[in-house]
Structure 1
Amino acid sequence: MPAVQRSAPLQPQDLALTIAGTHIREPGERVWSGGFVQLLKEFGFSTEASRAALARLVQRNLLEREMDGRRALYTLTEHAVELLTRGDDRIFSFGRPETTGDVWTILWHAIPEGRRAERTRFATGLRFLGFGSVQDATWFAAHDREAAVTELATSLNLIDHISLFVGRMSDQVPPGLLVREAWDLAAVDDRYTRFVDDYGHLRRAGERRALSPKDAFVTRTLMLHQFRGFPFVDPELPAAVGGRPQLRKRVVALFDVVYAGLADAANAHFHEVAQPAFSRAAPAA
């Protein structure tokens, strides 16, 4: 049976985008809507919720719907591919290599009250980059994030509303107080421990082979969904300032082995359910 997902509650839109981003990233790749709905149902979503999620992704310019005869198909938009590519760059570099904490980035912003939507998106992007905040407008990261923050602020047209500093912390005054105020490291450890509990047995090739293609697909998707949440909560601190690099390293290594090890079976299930021969007759969906 697939591992149980126990982090943030699954949302059908997020899950649909994760599935599409994993399996139909190449130009011209398409997925049959009825098969896409069936895949979402394997995670416990109703037909109605699944169809509503796909429609919403079309409205958000993340999926494009087209017809092939009587069959409705979905492809990723260019906008979605750009977002997914940036996300993958962060997710699949997370924890590699280990940070030294020698360089920190400090950000202060004064985003106008009338731009709350952009401010929310900016805050989400900062957390994804490993920032924590001690006040609404003051953020810290234990890395050189100058280029990433500049790109994020520019994309949201906020570059004129931020100030950015890159440098080292004092050698005489350790950043312990700052770390405690900005991040809940105990909660991060708990999430890592649950991840190892859920997927640790799948380090063994025999355990992976014992999964059916369907269970391999569900497990691999849920694991990616959980792993992609770690950059939002773990600032990747070195041990010298309270981080747990060895636990992070264990989780990253586990993810790499299992994600790659389940790929063939998961891909086979996806293609069987969501990419049947498009020339074959099928009811409209």
Structure 2
Amino acid sequence: MRQSDEVNADDVRVPRAQAGSSPQHLLTTVLGEYLDSSDADLPSTAVIAILREFGISESSARAALSRLVKRGLIATRRKGRSPVYHLTPQAIAKHRSRMRHFLNFGSRPTPWTGEWVQASFSVPSAGQASRHALRRSLTALGFVGLYDSVWIRPGSEATPVKEALRELLHHVEGARWSVMRVRFDEEAGPHGPASAYDLSSLASAYSSFIQQYAPLRAAARSGAVDATRALVARTSAMDSWRRFADIDPDLPPHLLPQPWPRQEARETFLDIHSALGSLAQARLVQVATPHWPDAASWITHFQASRNPARPEPTRH
């Protein structure tokens, strides 16, 4: 039985992306890609076997499970003598939302109205801890510092930043803040918003992704990747691509240097992700079944739609 997408996904804390996947981050990626029901009873031995494919030890796999339980992504229930794990309904909703975000990112230009959200704040010296926490929160929300205490992001949605400012600064005596929707007379000029972004480094990261995964892309397109390699390779590509969806500010084309390599990087990712989906699913079933006889009934995979008019990921 599939859970409703209406479940509040914001109650679940997903591990932050980081360089070099930790076991819990890797496990989050695998569960988000290949499980889509909270009714599936997942034995710990199956999780250990799955993570062993990625070179993760049993002790690290068990530690990852424990951490994800604490984060609310996984819960336990007893089945026979041994407890089993299952994704929570909140985790399913979070995974679906994140998969839509990752797989649809870069599929079409974001409609541009010329609006930016600007957050400005003043924090007394006694509130430096709150200032640092606010900067981390603003970065997570896609903001970048235009000046020291003036942060911006493209678009017009201001509710999340209003909530963050209120939560982090309301108790700081003397703190002041404001949120505005603004337009810039010179968007692309040396003092405009585009200058606040390190677009050169982002372009270099996209180019490195293209170069790194070019051999795998060619092998996947020619059918030269077997199921054993497909699971690890597809997961690696997804883990690398999803960081772009989190760090790319998705600026309008007229603010980007040309040529901009994101589209080629996206095509590289999609070729790998689409071609290896069924093979990776088959390998995951093969690895999990000795420990989880019902694995084939629950393991699936997501696949991005190639139809620009229907950018939703497809569940297989």
Question: Structure 1-normalised TM-score?
Answer: 0.77
Residue 277 in 1 paired to residue 305 in 2? Answer: no
What is the percentage of aligned positions where both structures have the same residue?
Answer: 27
Shift of 1:11: 1.0
Classify the secondary structure of the residue corresponding to 2:40: coil
Contact 1:238 1:245 in 2 (8 A): no
Distance of aligned partners of 1:54 and 1:246 in 2 relative to their CA distance in 1, 3 Å threshold:
same
Distance of aligned partners of 1:208 and 1:191 in 2 relative to their CA distance in 1, 3 Å threshold:
farther
Contact 2:23 2:61 in 1 (8 A): yes
Q: Choose which of 35, 45, 49 in structure 2 pairs with 1:24.
A: 35
Residues of 1 paired with 2:165 and 2:80: CA distance?
A: 39
Residue 164 in 1 paired to residue 179 in 2? Answer: yes
Shift of 1:156: 9.5
Residue 122 in 1 paired to residue 137 in 2? Answer: yes
Classify the secondary structure of the residue corresponding to 1:19: helix
- The match for 2:145 is 133
Shift of 1:237: 2.4
Classify the secondary structure of the residue corresponding to 2:76: strand
Residues of 2 paired with 1:251 and 1:223: CA distance?
A: 11
Shift of 1:89: 3.6
Distance of aligned partners of 1:29 and 1:176 in 2 relative to their CA distance in 1, 3 Å threshold:
farther
Distance of aligned partners of 1:13 and 1:237 in 2 relative to their CA distance in 1, 3 Å threshold:
same
Residues of 1 paired with 2:68 and 2:165: CA distance?
A: 20
Structure 2 letter corresponding to 1:216? A
Q: Choose which of 230, 240, 246 in structure 1 pairs with 2:244.
A: 230
Contact 2:68 2:74 in 1 (8 A): yes
Residues of 1 paired with 2:64 and 2:165: CA distance?
A: 25
Residues of 2 paired with 1:39 and 1:245: CA distance?
A: 40
Residue 102 in 1 paired to residue 117 in 2? Answer: no
What is the root-mean-square deviation of aligned Cα atoms in Å?
3.3
Aligned length: 266
Shift of 1:160: 8.7
- Listed as ranges, the gaps of 5+ residues in structure 2 are 1-17, 171-176, 296-316
Structure number with higher relative contact order (C-alpha < 8 Å, ≥ 6 residues apart): 1
Contact 1:25 1:81 in 2 (8 A): yes
Structure 1 letter corresponding to 2:21? L
Instruction: Please say which of residues 51-60 and 86-95 is displaced more in the overlay.
Output: 86-95
Shift of 1:211: 1.7
Shift of 1:267: 0.8
Question: Structure 2-normalised TM-score?
Answer: 0.71
Instruction: Please say which of residues 191-200 and 173-182 is displaced more in the overlay.
Output: 173-182
Structure 2 letter corresponding to 1:158? E
Q: Choose which of 201, 211, 235 in structure 2 pairs with 1:187.
A: 201
* Larger helix fraction of residues: 1
Residue 200 in 1 paired to residue 209 in 2? Answer: no
- The match for 2:63 is 52
Instruction: Please say which of residues 110-119 and 179-188 is displaced more in the overlay.
Output: 110-119
Structure 1 letter corresponding to 2:50? L
Shift of 1:38: 2.2
Residue 262 in 1 paired to residue 296 in 2? Answer: no
Instruction: Please say which of residues 203-212 and 20-29 is displaced more in the overlay.
Output: 203-212
Per-residue CA deviation, residues 183-213 of structure 1 (Å, 9 max, x unaligned), is 2222212211121112223444765622221
Shift of 1:239: 4.2
